[in-house]
Structure 1
Amino acid sequence: MTDVLAVEVREGYDPAFLEVEIPVPAPVDAVSADVAHTVDGGTLVRHVHFSLQMSASRRFALWVGWNIDGGSLKALSRTGQEFVNDPQIAAAGQVGNALYAGNRLDRGHIARRADLLWGSLAEAGRANRDSFLFTNITPQMDDFNQSAQDGVWGRLEDAVFADVEVQDLRVSVFGGPVFAADDRAYRGVRLPREYWKLIAFREAGVLKARAFLLTQALDQLELLDLDEFRVFQVAVAELEARTGLRFPDVLRAADVGALPGLVGEREPLGSPADIRW
C-alpha cells in the first residue's frame, strides 16, 4: 500500500501567516553545503503547518519553522501516534529509534505537537501525525523541560499568549539545535547541547521577534549529562552566529527587545515572567 504521507499535499510553514512576509532562514557559508536533499531532489521538507531543512552530516533538522493559530487549536490525543521516518528524506539521512533505546533520551519535538494542532479536525489530525516524524525530533533528556529553569523552554509559546496581546492569536516560530564540532558522540550520533527558538508575532499592528537559547555550554564546560540547561533571551544576530543561518531582515528589525552582551555574562531566565516581550 502506498504511504499516504508520501502522496498527500503538505502546505508547510506559511511565510505570510502574520500578514508580513517572513521567509524561512537561509543556511550560509559552510552550513549551506551541509543541507540535505529530499528524495525528490529539493531541500525543503513540508508538512502540515511546518517546514524544515535537514543537516546531511548531523541527520537532524537545521531549522524547523511553524505557524500557530491560537484561535483554532484542537485538543487531540497522542495515543496511537508512533515516531516514524520522514518519507521525504532517505532513511539513512535521519536519526531513528536506535538512538533512544534503553537510555534516558527522549524523542523531543522541535515544533511542539500542541502548536501544530489547529485548523479543521482533519487538518489538525494530519498535523498531529506529521509532528512525530523523525525530521522534527531531537534527543532530549527525560527531564528536559523541567530542568530547563522550571520549564521556561517548554512554555515559551504559552508565555507569549499569556503576556502579550497577540494580534489575531497568530504566532510564527523557528527553532532547532545548535551544532558544535565538539558535541558529545553517543551511539555514533553527536548530541546537540544547545537549542534555539525565535518567536514572531504582531502586537497593535507591530511585528515583534524574540530569540532564545537553551544551553549548557556557558563556560566551554563539557558536562556528562544533558540536563544542566539554562534559558537565555538573546539577539537574533547571536542566533545567526551560533547556527550559521541567516534570518530575514524583517525579523532582525523586529528584534527591538534584544539584550546586549554575551550569554555567559547575563542572568538566565528564571521564569516566563522574566521574558522581555
Structure 2
Amino acid sequence: MPVMLRRWRSGPRWTSGFRGADASRTWPGAVRSTTFLPRPGVNRSTRSADSRPPATGVTHGIVRRIDTIAKLNYGGQVGNKTIGCFEIGPDPERPPETGEISSGGDSGAVWLFKQGNRPGTVMAGLHFGGEAAGDPDEHALACLPTSVFEKLEISLAPPAPEDIRTIAGYAPDFLDERIDVPQLDADLTRDAVRLNGSEVVSHTHFSLALGKKQCFPFWVGWNIDGGTLKKLSRGGIPFVKDPRLPATAQGGNELYENNRLDRGHIARRADLLWGSLPEAKKANTDSFFYTNITPQMDDFNQSSKNGLWGKLEDAVFADTEVDDLKVSVFGGPVFQEDDRAFRGVKIPREFWKIIAFTEHGKLKTKGFLLTQNLVQLETLELDEFRVFQVTLGELENRTRLSFPAALHKSDTLQVPEAVADRAPLETLADIQWD
C-alpha cells in the first residue's frame, strides 16, 4: 500500500494542533483507533498533523526498513539522541518533484497509508528527519504512531463501558459519620449557579457550589481514599470549562494569560486519583475543569515555609492514624468586598480548608486559613503568604457558609486570640491534630 506526505502553507502544527486534543477532531476523518505496523514495500503518504490549511505539495514513498535506529545530533545540551523509527524511500513511480523525500519543515508531518492514489484514513507514522548530509541514499525517517501516542499519553481507543459510567461526586457518607456539604447564606444561594435545579455540581470524587458573580467556587468538597491512590500524569490534559454550566459563570484562560497568575486547583489533583484505574483517570481529567480552579500567584504552593498549604492533606496521613486511610476535605476562596479586580474579575486573597478524618473511631476536624495580601494588583506583587490553624466558627464568619453540626462537634481547637494576633504555622509540626 503506498504512502503520501503533504506539505502545508502554515507548516506542520503537531504541537499546537494535537497535543492535549482529541485526535479525531484534530485530524477529522484521517485517524482511526487502529494503526498498522508498517511493512517493507508498503506505500505511504505524509500530510501535516493539522489538515486545515491548503496543501502546497505531496510526497509519495515506500517503506523500506522497519525497526531501524537513527542517531541524530540536536546540538547544545541535548546532543546525540538514538531514535527508533522506520525508513521510507522514494516511490519510483511518483518521485518527489524536488528529488528530496524529506525537506526542511517536514518534521511533524504525518505519513498516511494510501488508498489508490489518495491519502487513507490510517496513520502510518510521524515524520522527523531524513538522510544525513553527504549520504547519497535518499530517504525519510518516521516514528511509529504508538510510540508517539505513548509519549504524549494519548489514546485513540474507544473508552470501555466502565470508563464512561457516571461516577458520583463528594460522598457525605464516606467516613463513619455522615458529613453533609456546606450551606450557603441567602445572598450566596441567589448567586449560585444551578445544575438540574441544584446548587451542587458534581464531578468524579468532588462536588462544588459555583458563584455567578465571582466565577469561582464558594466551596469544593472532596473525598480521599488513601488506600487506593494512583499516580497518574497530568500531561496533555487541558483546562476547560464545564459544558453543563454557563460559560460566563466560569473563569477561563483569558484571566491567566501573560501574568503571574496560575490556575490553582481547590481540590488537589493528587487527592482525587483513587479507586479503579478508569475512575482515577476520569477524576484526573475532571480536576481540570475551571469550576475547580481559582487564580493563585505563581508561588502560591511555596507559601509559608516550604509550601505548608499544599502539604496539609499529606500531613494528616503522615502524622495521624487515619482509620481506613479515608479523609474528607472542604476548601475554597474567601471573598471580600475589598478584593481588587484584575481583568474584570476580583482576585481572592484568602483561602480556607477543612480536613475531616476518623482516628480510633473518633471524628476529628481541623480548619486552616491561608492569607495572601495583594499590594499592587497591576504588577501582582505579594506579601508573604501565611497559614493559620483556625476554628470552623472563624471560617463561617469569613465565608458566609454554614458547616454541618458533625464538623463543629469534632472541632476542638481552642484559640483565645483573633487570627490577626495569632502566630502563623511555621512547619507541619505546629498543627494541632489532637
**TM-score, with normalisation over the residues of structure 1?**
0.93
Structure 1 residue 28 corresponds to structure 2 residue 185: yes
Bigger strand share: 2
* Structure 1 SS opposite 2:305: coil
Write the letter of the residue equivalent to 2:242: D
Structure 2 counterpart of 1:28, one-letter code: D
Distance 1:84 1:262 in 2: 39
Distance across 2 between alignment mates of 1:261 and 1:74: 41
Aligned to 2:375: 223
* Residues 103-135 of structure 1 deviation map (CA, whole Å, 9 limit, x = unaligned): 111100000000000000000000000000000
Contact 2:167–2:279 (CA<8 Å) still a contact in 1?
no
Q: How far apart are 1:33 and its partner, in Å?
A: 2.1
Q: Secondary structure at the match of 1:123?
A: helix
Matched, 1:210 2:381: no
Q: Are the aligned partners of 1:211 and 1:233 in contact in 2 as well (CA < 8 Å)?
A: yes
Q: Residue 101 of structure 1 aligns to a residue in which SS?
A: coil
In the alignment, what sits opposite 2:350? 194
**Aligned equivalent of 2:391:** 235
Deviation at 1:261, TM superposition (A): 2.1
Q: 1:61-115 deviations in whole A, cap 9, x for unaligned?
A: 0000000000100000001111000123211110000000001111000000000
Residue 99 (structure 1) aligned to one of 228, 239, 255: 255
Rg larger for: 2
How many residue pairs end up in the alignment? 268
**CA displacement 1:212-244 (0-9 Å, x = unmatched):** 000135xxxx62224521000000000000000
Residue aligned with 2:238, SS: coil
Question: Any conservation in 2 of the 1:63–1:176 contact (CA below 8 Å)?
Answer: yes
Moved more, 242-251 or 144-153: 144-153
1: distance between equivalents of 2:412 and 2:303?
A: 29
TM-score, normalised via structure 2 length = 0.60
How do 1:1-277 and structure 2 match up within 5 A? 9-38=166-195, 40-216=196-372, 223-224=375-376, 225-226=381-382, 228-277=384-433
* 2: CA distance, partners of 1:266 / 1:88: 43
Displacement of 1:258: 4.1
Q: Which moved more, 1:18-27 or 1:259-268?
A: 259-268
- C-alpha contact (below 8 Å) 2:351/2:370 kept by paired residues: yes
CA distance in 2: counterparts of 1:57 and 1:33, whole angstroms: 10
Answer with 86-95 or 142-151: which moved more: 142-151
Is the 1:94–1:134 Cα contact (8 Å) retained in structure 2? yes
Partners of 1:73 and 1:118 within 8 A in 2: yes
The amino acid that maps onto 1:76 is: L
Question: Helix, strand or coil for the counterpart of 1:24?
Answer: coil
Which residue of structure 1 lines up, in the alignment, with residue 18 of structure 2?
A: none
Distance in structure 2 (CA, Å) of the matches to 1:206 and 1:183 = 39
- Contact in 2 for aligned 1:45/1:88 (Cα 8 Å): no
Secondary structure, aligned partner of 1:114: helix
CA distance in 2 between partners of 1:70 and 1:175 (Å): 18
The percentage of aligned residue pairs carrying the same residue is 59
Larger relative contact order (C-alpha < 8 A, sep ≥ 6)? 1
1:148 match: secondary structure: helix
Residue 43 of structure 1: how far off its partner (Å): 1.5
Note the C-alpha offset of 1:8. 5.2
Alpha-carbon deviations, 1:110-169, whole Å to 9, x = none? Answer: 000000000000000000000000000000111111133321100000011110001110
Contact 2:219 2:333 in 1 (8 A): yes
The answer to whether the Cα contact below 8 Å between 1:143 and 1:227 also exists between their aligned partners in 2 is: no
Q: Which moved more, 1:85-94 or 1:141-150?
A: 141-150
Gaps of 5+ in 2: 1-23, 25-158
CA contact (8 A) 1:67 1:171 kept: yes
CA distance in structure 2 between the aligned counterparts of 1:10 and 1:34, rounded to whole angstroms:
27
